[in-house]
Structure 1
Amino acid sequence: MPALPAHGGGEEGGVFHVLVTGFGPFANHQPDNPSWLAVQPLHNVVLPLDTETGGKHRVIKISALQVPVTYESVASVVPKLHLRPPVLPDQVKDDFYRLPQDKGYDFIFHLGVAGRGPLRMEKLGHKLGYHMKDPSGKLAPTVKGPPSDFGRREESDMSVGEQAVERIGLGFDVESAGDTYSVRPSRGFGAGYEKFPDEIYTDIDVSRLVSHLRKNGVEQIYSSMDAGHYLCDFAYYCSLAESKRNGKPYEKDRNTQVLFVHCPPVGQPLTTEEVTEAIRRIIIWVCLENAEIAG
């Protein structure tokens, strides 16, 4: 796992800057989304690290941000969080720990709500397949595939099934009903994300982190390979891609670490306080792990 940078110079020499995000209210989660309820208590919190490197004790400065529950908001807010320095929404920027000029967050940790059950730590985000409307009634952007050459083929050249396979290869979703197929354009990340793969994995060792948490009192948690192809997955892929876009290829340890965890509705079975404590432990593990590597 790439090492988190220790910001050099002055009082920032031993600081890890962490941003935690939760989603805003929607539909069945009024007035507050359970993810935001769990994240909010960590805003402007400073945590010590149980390590000392180069004679300096290190600390973690955490800021918490609420992201509106729409594709448009995610696409607008998340990329700016990965700039150096980050660009925060105007209404909150003066209440966040300030980062040194030309520095980004060391760790951006996203939280979203899922169904009843344990915490779910996601290993990867998906580029395409976002066909559910957000709470505002809007769909994710349409992703245009390359021009097809179907019009230049004789109908006898390809069977209906073969045409369906080719259309899938061009980025379309194909639904079947017997011998007939209907095509709907794929939705997700298109313009500006062409160079990124269909799946992006986090650099964090999710399996090892989950094992650590289970051994240390956080038993209601497991890893997942499916973030849901909805707003949580959309935010996760966006954040993972932007981390790579804004990293320096010749300084791979400079990439911002990114992680997404799904939490259940309050009390199903975890309380808000239990989720907050799990978040705190995850943040400490990620920063401590990287502090030791960097040291």
Structure 2
Amino acid sequence: MQDNSYVKYRVLVTGFGPFGTYTENPSWLAVKTLHDTIITTTPARGKPPKGAKPDSIHLTSLNIPTVYSAVLKTLPDLHAQPPVLPPLYTPPTSRPPPEDGFQLIVHVGVAGPGPLRAEHLAHKTGYSLPDYEHQSPPIIIGKGTLRGFGEPHYGDEFADELFTSVNVDALVSDLTSGPDPLPLETSDDPGRFLCDFIYYCSLAESQRAGRETPVLFIHCPPIGLATEKKMSTKEVAEGVRRIISSVCGRLSQR
């Protein structure tokens, strides 16, 4: 049944498909549980507007292959007006993509053991590792063997590092304080692989579209490492939900 109730924020959350030893990527295992759900905003710690009620947020989840060419093909469509979601990787949803675009896009990928990590930035070049289909990252036209972004995708008008407009430090401060702290830390190292690659591509497309759509990348730990303290799929999904709720809460206070 289609849900026609009003929501203020439409948020896209992506996870990755299989790669390496992961037949099911931990990021997608968590992200897919959030699909087609409605959550509410959380105000920034210590700054709730007087008399304000929480705003509703609708989440759409998308599975993106751990493949460079798939990222390059898919990301421009996700930032379009209206966004175009690839049907092959999109579960059924009660709501079509918003005509004026998503208000927030969050990408989630797996990293090493530890807490969730909110990434500040993404890199334009320095990529070398092959993807799930054993394809190398694209070579930049006119730059010899340098791989990453440049012509013909994102040329000199885009910086070597792109930074999220989300106040990551404030976000982490809010969510790691109080009676129910979230295991979350900041990071400046998204890894020069598909996580870094999709983040740069998404930040560049947001900049190109000119709508200032906030983009954020979250690293989650691998699930099921017997030798490490780990987070469950449910805990990762709850962490991502709380991050989205907090980011949208700050958008409400602009």
Question: TM range, normalised to the smaller chain?
Answer: 0.7 to 0.9
- 2:96 corresponds in structure 1 to 98
Report the CA distance between 1:219 and its aligned residue.
4.3
From 244, 259, 266, the equivalent of 2:207 is 244
1:175 corresponds in structure 2 to none
Distance in 2 of aligned mates of 1:23 and 1:70? 9
Deviates more, 1:257-266 or 1:50-59: 50-59
Does residue 192 of structure 2 align to residue 229 of structure 1?
yes
Contact 1:111–1:260 (CA under 8 A) maintained in structure 2:
yes
Give, in angstroms, the shift of residue 64 of structure 1: 0.4
| SS of equivalent to 2:41 | strand
Question: Match for residue 203 of structure 1?
Answer: 165
Q: Flag the 1:125–1:96 CA change in 2: closer, same or farther, 3 A.
A: farther
Tell me, what secondary structure is at the counterpart of 1:143?
coil
The aligned runs of 1:34-183 (5 Å cut-off) are: 34-49=26-41, 58-91=55-88, 92=90, 95=93, 97-101=95-99, 103-145=100-142, 171=143
Q: What amino acid does structure 1 have at the position aligned with 2:194? A: L
1:239-286, CA deviations, whole angstroms, 9 ceiling, x for partnerless residues?
000001012xxxxxx421100011111145111111111101110111
Query: Are 1:220 and 2:168 matched, yes or no?
Result: no
Tell me how many residue pairs correspond in the alignment. Answer: 238
Runs of 4+ deviating beyond 4 Å: 50-57
Aligned match of 2:10 = 17
Counterpart position of 2:46? none
Cα contact 1:63–1:96 (8 A) shared by 2: no
Contact 1:62 1:97 in 2 (8 A): no
Deviation per residue, 1:162-195 (Å, 9 max, x gap): xxxxxxxxx56xxxxxxxxxxxx11011213111
Mark the structure with the bigger radius of gyration. Answer: 1
Provide the rounded CA distance (Å) in 2 between the counterparts of 1:11 and 1:136: 41
Deviations along 1:90-145, whole A, 9 cap, x unmatched?
333753622443x0110000000011122111100101111111121111110133
Structure with greater proportional strand content: 1
Deviation of the 1:78 alpha carbon? 1.4
SS at match of 1:215: coil
In the TM superposition, residue 89 of structure 1 has moved relative to its aligned partner by 0.5
Give the corresponding residue for 2:215. Answer: 258
Gaps of 5+ in 2: 44-48
Q: Output the CA distance in 2 between the equivalents of 1:219 and 1:57.
A: 20
Match of 1:165 in 2: none
Structure 2 residue 146 is the aligned partner of structure 1 residue 186: yes
Equivalent residue number for residue 292 of structure 1: 253
Could you tell me how far apart the structure 1 residues matched to 2:192 and 2:94 are? Answer: 30
User: TM-score scaled to structure 1, two decimals?
Assistant: 0.75
